[in-house]
């Protein structure tokens, strides 16, 4: 059999040419996404779990009519997806203040936002993925106003679905990031959810066990979900039996 062609290797995944035109194979690596200026370390089993988790969320979205690139999982680390022309943005949806929003605006971490807030970051590693406005996006031709309306609608539908699923397992979806891509059906272009939805793209806080005081009698505060890959996979019932441990997720800036 001929060796398949590698199309791209990023921090978290490798893309290979798919078996049919218009498809790609996404291979999920174990590498942790490094914080800025930090070396990346492998987290054993992370790729296997993110493959399962992204499958779980994307197939759930497909099932409620939110279009995604996910076609099917191929094996422990790979899934077949529709090839897209990526919009060079990271679309962030925030439900609770945390990370960069808290830093920039001085809003306490954990504070509920009056409504979900959508932000855009230009996906360019060398520039540090800078935050951009709709003005920049339209002026530089990364997307037009109609695309942006579609992207916001997609992002909010994903947010509703993801928030609900997480809530069902005692997890609060603080914020998450999405990448969207274009596919063509004849003359028509559609924007769909691409890349991955996993603990690497979501900031998750644990809401379980807050009622009971801890050993020192202190009331527990909500905080980041520990051992997030394994714990989330376990709560959602998608844990493959032979993967046991992993570590922290990367936070959205």
Which residues lie near ligand ADP (CB under 6 A)?
Answer: 8, 10-13, 15, 24, 69, 81-84, 86, 179, 181, 194-195
**CA distance linking residue 219 with residue 14, whole number of Å:** 44
Which residue lies nearer to ligand ADP by CB, 85 or 149?
Answer: 85
Shortest distance in whole angstroms from residue 10 CB to ligand ADP: 2
Which residue lies nearer to ligand ADP by CB, 124 or 149?
Answer: 124
Shortest distance in whole angstroms from residue 46 CB to ligand ADP: 12
Which residue lies nearer to ligand ADP by CB, 181 or 199?
Answer: 181
Shortest distance in whole angstroms from residue 108 CB to ligand ADP: 30
Please, what is the angle between helix 46-63 and helix 145-168, to 10°?
Answer: 110
The per-residue DSSP string of 58-73 comes to HHHHHHTT--BSEEEE
Shortest distance in whole angstroms from residue 125 CB to ligand ADP: 7
Shortest distance in whole angstroms from residue 110 CB to ligand ADP: 27
Phi, psi of 142 (to 5 degrees): -75, -30
Long-range contacts of residues 241-249, Cβ cutoff 8 Å, at least 24 apart: 243/45, 243/48, 243/49, 244/45, 245/44, 245/45, 246/43, 246/44, 246/45, 246/46, 246/49, 247/32, 247/43, 248/32, 248/224, 249/199, 249/200, 249/202, 249/203, 249/204, 249/224
Which residue lies nearer to ligand ADP by CB, 47 or 60?
Answer: 47
Which residue lies nearer to ligand ADP by CB, 119 or 195?
Answer: 195
């Amino acid at each position: 059999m001929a060796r398949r062609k590698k199309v791209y290797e990023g921090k978290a995944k490798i893309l290979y040419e798919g078996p049919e035109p218009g498809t790609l194979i996404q291979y999920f690596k174990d590498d942790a996404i490094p914080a800025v200026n930090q070396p990346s370390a492998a987290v054993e089993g992370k790729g296997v779990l993110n493959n399962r988790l992204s499958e779980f969320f994307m197939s759930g979205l497909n099932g409620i009519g939110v279009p995604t690139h996910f076609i099917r999982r191929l094996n422990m680390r790979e899934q077949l997806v529709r090839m897209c022309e990526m919009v060079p943005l990271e679309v962030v949806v925030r439900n609770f203040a945390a990370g960069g929003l808290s830093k920039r605006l001085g809003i306490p971490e954990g504070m509920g936002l009056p409504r979900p807030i959508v932000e855009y970051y230009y996906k360019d590693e060398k520039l540090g993925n800078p935050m951009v406005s709709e003005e920049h996006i339209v002026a530089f031709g990364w997307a037009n106003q109609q695309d942006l309306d579609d992207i916001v609608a997609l992002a909010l539908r994903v947010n509703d679905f993801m928030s609900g699923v997480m809530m069902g397992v005692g997890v609060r979806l603080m914020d998450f990031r999405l990448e969207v891509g274009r596919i063509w059906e004849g003359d028509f272009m559609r924007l769909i959810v691409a890349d991955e939805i996993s603990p690497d793209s979501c900031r998750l806080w644990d809401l379980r066990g807050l009622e009971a005081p801890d050993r020192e009698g202190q009331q527990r505060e909500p905080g980041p979900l520990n051992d997030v890959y394994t714990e989330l996979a376990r709560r959602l019932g998608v844990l493959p039996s032979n993967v046991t441990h992993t570590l922290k997720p990367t936070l959205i800036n």
